[in-house]
Structure 1
Amino acid sequence: MAIDMDKLNAFMGRFVGDIGAAMHAGTVLLGDQLGLYKALAVGPMSAEQLARATQTDARYVREWLSAQAASGYVEYDAAADHFHMTEEQVFALATEGSPAFIPGAFQLVLGALRSVPRLAGVFRTGLGYGWHEHDAMLFQGTERFFRPGYAANLVSSWIPALDGVDSKLESGARVADVGCGHGASTVLMAQAYPKASFVGFDYHAPSIEWARKAAAEAGVADRVTFEVAAAKNFPGKDYDLVAFFDCLHDMGDPVGASRHVRAALKPDGCWMIVEPFANDALQDNLNPVGRLYYSASTLICTPASKSQEVGLALGAQAGEKRLRGVVTEGGFKHFRRATETPFNLVFEARP
Structure 2
Amino acid sequence: MIQDLTRKIFRPRRVIEQHIAVFGESGSGKTTLLSTFYGWHQEPFFRRTAGYSLLADDTSQGQRLSNEYLKMKESLLPPPTRYQHQAFRFNITVRGLDKSAGSIVWHDYPGEWWTETKADVEGQNKIEAFRTLLKSDIAFFLCDAQILKEEGGKYLKRLFGSFRGEIERQKSAIITDNEPLQIFPRVWVICLSKADLIPEKDVYWFRDEVHRSAIDELRELREVFKMMLSGDEYQSIGEDFLLLSSAKFDSETGKIVNPEQNIGIDLIPPISIILPVQRALIWAKVGETGQAAVYRLTETFRLLTTNWLKYMPLVGNVFMLMDDTAKSITEKLKELESSARKKGDSVTAVVAAFRGKIEDEQNRKVYFSNKQ
* TM-score range for the pair, normalised by the shorter chain length: under 0.3
TM-score (norm 2): 0.26
TM-score (norm 1): 0.27
The structure having more radius of gyration, on CA atoms, is 1
Which protein, 1 or 2, shows the higher relative CO under an 8 Å CA cutoff with sep ≥ 6? 2
